[in-house]
Amino acid sequence: MRGLSQYSGQIGIVGGGPAGLLVARELLRLGLNVDVFEASKQVGRPPHCTGIVSVKTLERFSVGSSCVEAVYREAVFVDDRLRVFARVRGSPLAVKLYRPCLEELLAGQVRELGGQLFLGARVVHVDSQGRVLVEGGQVNTYSCIVVADGATRNISKKLFKSRCSWLTGVEVRVELQKRVRCDAFYTFHGPRFSRGFFAWFAPVEDGRKAVIGVGSRDAVVERLNLILKLFDKLVGISSVYERRSGIILGGPPAPKPVIGKAYGIGDALCTSKPFTGGGLYAISVLYRPLALAIRLEKPRVYEEAYKALTRELKLQHFYTKIARNTWPLAKKVLELALRRKCHIDFDRHSSLVSCLFKEG
């Protein structure tokens, strides 16, 4: 049984994923004490994310490059018949973070700055008055609570009233028999690979290993096995390890990020990029305004940043719905955009559509 005296922070944080830990670090830097409650016994484990982000997102995290395990200059789009139909380039376009490394690094920074991190501490109830109840413990009252409970949204769903679409993602790491090109990742589209999403192949460790995953509305495990067979034929797979699964969110974002004394961030608010399910971008944009709003006791600072970001995410949500329901047409639009040399922003996907209208 945990006693009240253990919890000495001014701000309680539910969830020790990237969102919770980044906010914790920022609050500590602004001079506030924090208690972070993480249900798992270890941060970052089990890993449940590919970790591909833009360079700008990585920079906003302020964690250096020690957790970067691959740098990609190209995203290659492949269709059901294994034909490449688009290539998006950048210098670099994106990096791949090893997620357990990111969370361990952030947890270390939080501890160094004097934050308390309670592992194996599952929060079972939070309210808008700042009260937090940890399983097997007592109620503690904070001046503010940050809810960063991730895609399961066991606490945040009710509090922030988010009605978010989702599907299941499964992923494995594989050791390859043939070394592959390591500066590009591949996405596979069409009903053979996925219903409502896509499959992916992201090389790591100089192309000797790769992460292979699939997100789909149905039969994810069967689809993954099919894709593994296909890659075994193409490049040879000598071993499969680190099998994991998770929830991929598709938006739209929750209507409000602040309810009373509770502030939400990350998957808790369903702020993933709808086309790819990438949630780290929104966290990188929002964690500083959130901490500042708490420090200044001005929720508006956070609400405004949230509004600006979610305007773009809502637009992406709208376009993604169209693209998923009219895939052959959406594929043609992408091909056209690339022929016209439209710039495709890794994070702000709707820039592609505005480019088509401007130049069309």
Ligand X SMILES: Cc1cc2nc3c(=O)[nH]c(=O)nc-3n(C[C@H](O)[C@H](O)[C@H](O)COP(=O)(O)OP(=O)(O)OC[C@H]3O[C@@H](n4cnc5c(N)ncnc54)[C@H](O)[C@@H]3O)c2cc1C
Nearer to ligand X, 193 or 281 (CB): 281
Rounded least distance, CB 177 to ligand X, Å: 24
Q: Measured from the CB atom, is 86 or 286 closer to ligand X?
A: 286
CA 252 to chain centre: 14
CB of 360 to ligand X, least distance (A): 30
What residues contact 163, with CB distance under 8 A and at least 6 apart? 252
CB 271 within 8 A of CB 148: no
Q: Which is nearer to ligand X, 20 or 115 (CB)?
A: 20
Q: Which two tokens stand for residue 285?
A: 């944009």
Half-sphere exposure of 130 (CA within 13 A, CB side): 11
User: In whole angstroms, how close is the CB of 328 to ligand X at the nearest point?
Assistant: 25
Backbone phi and psi for residue 124, each to the nearest 5 degrees, phi listed first: -105, -15
Q: Which residue has the tokens 């990111």?
A: 102
Task: Report the alpha-carbon distance of residue 98 to residue 69 in Å, rounded.
Answer: 6
How many other CB atoms are found less than 10 A from the CB of residue 64? 10
> Rounded to the nearest whole angstrom, what is the least distance from the CB of residue 126 to ligand X in the complex?
8
Q: How far is the CB of 292 from ligand X (least distance, A)?
A: 19
Residue 304 Cβ, how far from ligand X at the closest point, in Å? Answer: 21
Q: Which is nearer to ligand X, 33 or 40 (CB)?
A: 40
Nearest to 334 by CA among 355, 313, 317, 316: 355
The contact set with ligand X (CB under 6 A) reads: 14-20, 37-40, 48-53, 122-123, 148-152, 154-155, 169, 171, 213, 246-248, 266-268, 272, 277-281, 283
Nearer to ligand X, 119 or 333 (CB): 119
Rg, C-alpha atoms of the chain: 21
Strands 258-259 vs 209-216: parallel, antiparallel or unpaired: unpaired
Phi/psi of residue 346, each to 5°? -60, -30
What's CA 72's distance to the chain center, in Å? 18
Q: C-beta of 200: minimal distance to ligand X in Å?
A: 8
Q: Compare residues 123 and 337 and give the one whose CB is closer to ligand X.
A: 123
C-beta closer to ligand X: residue 18 or 299? 18
